[in-house]
Structure 1
């Protein structure tokens, strides 16, 4: 991706975007937080792309949960920070039985 920076070390922008994204993920019971990862790409200016690799419980409607999370994360980041969200990509890495890893 030309003009994009993948943030691996914590800095103010990374920490803020990570906090907002994780706040949104923690609200969803369908997501297994301790097995879910978030990557952040900063593009030119104040644009960003959020990449989530999630483990989800099978009792959930995967597509609707992912769409709701995409909208929520983008809305919260744009409301709480000066960043504009270009994309929120959600990859479902694995499905587990809804009774496993109960929070």
Structure 2
């Protein structure tokens, strides 16, 4: 049996999560129902973002991932005092239309 410990998100984590999801929603190639976002915030004003998502079959996977990374980094820098030291985008699967 697995034991999970629930920890309430901080306001910073919730804000960064919201910024990331705003970016993800703009990409029609991404399946929104199958998207996980993980945020780690450090004390020095930096954060690490991991996005695990599914992409529609036929979409340019590499271009979508690179574009999403760039957009997330720009939006975090513009909307928060944090800088993204890493944005990892992982494709879980390709979804048939």
TM-score by length of 1: 0.84
Instruction: Count how many residue pairs are aligned between Structure 1 and Structure 2.
Output: 91
Once residues 8 and 77 of structure 2 are traced to their aligned partners in structure 1, the CA distance between those partners, rounded to angstroms, is 22
Are 1:10 and 2:9 an aligned pair?
yes
Gaps of 5+ in 2: 1-6
Alignment of 1:45-56 (within 5 A): 45-56=44-55
Gaps of 5+ in 1: 1-7
Are 1:44 and 2:43 an aligned pair?
yes
Structure with greater strand percent: 2
Segments of 4+ moved more than 3 angstroms = none
TM-score by length of 2: 0.89
Residue 78 of structure 1 corresponds to 77
- 1:41-81 Cα shifts (integer Å, max 9, x gaps): 11231100100011110121000010000000000001000
Verify the 8 A CA contact 2:57 2:94 in the aligned structure 1.
yes
Residue 90 of structure 1 corresponds to 89
Once residues 49 and 11 of structure 1 are traced to their aligned partners in structure 2, the CA distance between those partners, rounded to angstroms, is 15
